[in-house]
Amino acid sequence: MTPQQVLETAKTHEARQIDLRFTDLPGLWQHVSYPISQLTEECFSEGFGIDGSSIRGWAAINESDMLLMPDAATAMMDPFGAVPTLVMVGDVIDPITRQKYERDPRHIAKKAEAYLQATGVGDTAFFGAEAEFFIFDNISFDQNQHEGYYYIDAEEGRWNSGRREHNLGYRPRYKEGYFPVPPVDHYQDLRSEMVEALIGCGLDIECHHHEVATAGQCEIDQKYSTLVKSADNMMLYKYVVKNVAYQHGKSVTFMPKPIFGDNGSGMHVHQSIWKAGKPVFAGEGYAGLSQMALWYIGGLLKHARALSAIIAPTTNSYKRLVPGYEAPVNLAYSRRNRSAAVRIPMYSASPKAKRVEFRPPDPSANPYLAFAAMLMAGLDGVLNKIDPGESLDKDIYDLSPEEMKDVPSMPASLEEALTCLEDDHNFLLKGDVFTEELIETYVSYKRKHEADAVRLRPHPYEFALYYDI
């Protein structure tokens, strides 16, 4: 849309509010609302003033004045507001310099797209992310000086099979939720309603299904799009899925590993590069890939340990990324093989379908930072012709220790991942896409507010292990 078309849309839908949204450094959507009378064509060039001092990972209080510049192309009507509300994503601007704010994740994603074009490798990067989630009926948690606990309940949870009252059975067994029909799959209708809401918001949805875990693990797949648009879509996807569930008295979480002993939630990211309307990843090499695609894989694998701090950015992420379980922690590539960190899907022989799938990411990641970082790693592989080594077409989980000794793996903790990012981030600085200051801020925030915060607190299971020692 153009600014004029946005105003016409607001009038057609009798919008009473304008809601501007942006993303903080960890990846949570933030918003500020105004009466519709405040929206004029001039707003698209002058912006709306906001206070950025309390936004996680942003400026200090003495540099907190910011401008939000509405992006007309993102305009839509909010499907959940009681008052008709027009929503737009905003880009963050420094009001003094009038430059894009360096800590705005969306700006970083836009710079990654511009860097791709500057390299000449391609002109468009397509990303398609598959974000899994859980649907719970009740969640409670607390942590203080003398207690720490969480309690999860889900009508579909296998642990409710022994309940005496109002129990009709039909629940997925642990690790057997892929893909039984209803009534074992409790959430067919709810996911269908989510899909209808997503389509109504302009997203192109390909399919939906129950996932492997019990207790309502689900997946709704979107069609791929350009890097920034795909990240915009992921933020909208989370918003819609959470709100539809909330309207039904349920809670959705994109936390990677909320259930012990069952599968966690990943965000497998399909990616490809095109130039002048042609896919540059298609070729005559391994699995129908071009040499450029193999180099791109080489970049992903070489920098995967550093990427982990951005694409698996929580302490909980490393409850999922555990060797020998369901997550792809081993840094290898393979066609079809889902136990490899990089998989080359083989559903179609069409050159247009040729892509690589990076499997370690999870949906707790900030999609703007995650997609940008993966593109930068892949481009580093292309520009430096990084050889990904031999493919690994065996089931990695069944390999012997001798066979596994030369296969590198993902970090085992957020703390280790942050150290890897500190040691290996020059590839992110190319084209000024990420800045040294941004990476220092990110690492500092994650260490202080997440890694150290969890490390300082006793874990409930430690009492089972050590109380009688």
219 is catalytic: yes
Nearest to 150 by CA among 253, 56, 247, 249: 253
260 exposed, middle or buried (CB, 10 Å; 0-12, 13-18, 19+)?
Answer: exposed
* Peptide bond between residue 254 and the one before it cis (omega within 30 degrees of 0): no
Identify residue 423 by its one-letter amino acid code: D
Q: Determine which one of 16, 208, 209, 338 is catalytic.
A: 338
Q: Catalytic site residue 51?
A: yes
284: DSSP letter: S
Q: Which of 219, 232, 362, 415 is catalytic?
A: 219
**Number of other residues whose CB lies within 10 A of the CB of residue 358:** 27
Q: Which of 41, 46, 51, 206 is catalytic?
A: 51
Q: By three-state DSSP, how is residue 96 classified?
A: coil
CB-CB contact of 209 with 196 (8 Å): no
Contacts of 66 (CB under 8 A, 6+ apart): 49, 50, 51, 52, 58, 59, 92, 93, 94, 95, 101
Look up 208 and say whether it is catalytic: no
How far is Cα 357 from Cα 338, in angstroms, rounded to an integer? 10
The answer to whether residue 171 is catalytic is no
158 given a catalytic annotation:
no
164 is catalytic: no
Euclidean distance between CA atoms 126 and 272, whole angstroms: 5
Q: Point out the catalytic residue in the list 357, 362, 380, 450.
A: 357
Q: Which residue out of 106, 107, 210, 268 is catalytically annotated?
A: 268
268 assigned to active site: yes
Q: What is the largest CA-CA distance in the chain?
A: 71
Which one of 359, 362, 425, 450 is the catalytic residue? 359
Whether 88 and 81 have beta carbons less than 8 Å apart is answered as: no
Q: Which of 113, 132, 155, 415 is catalytic?
A: 132
Burial of residue 141 (CB within 10 Å: 0-12, 13-18, 19+) is exposed
Residue 430 CB partners (closer than 8 Å, separation 6+): 115, 376, 379, 380
Residues 113, 130, 232, 380: which is the catalytic one? 130
The single residue listed with the structure tokens 């990411």 is 361
**Catalytic-role residue among 211, 262, 415, 450:** 211
Instruction: Please give the positions annotated as active site.
Output: 51, 130, 132, 211, 219, 268, 338, 357, 359
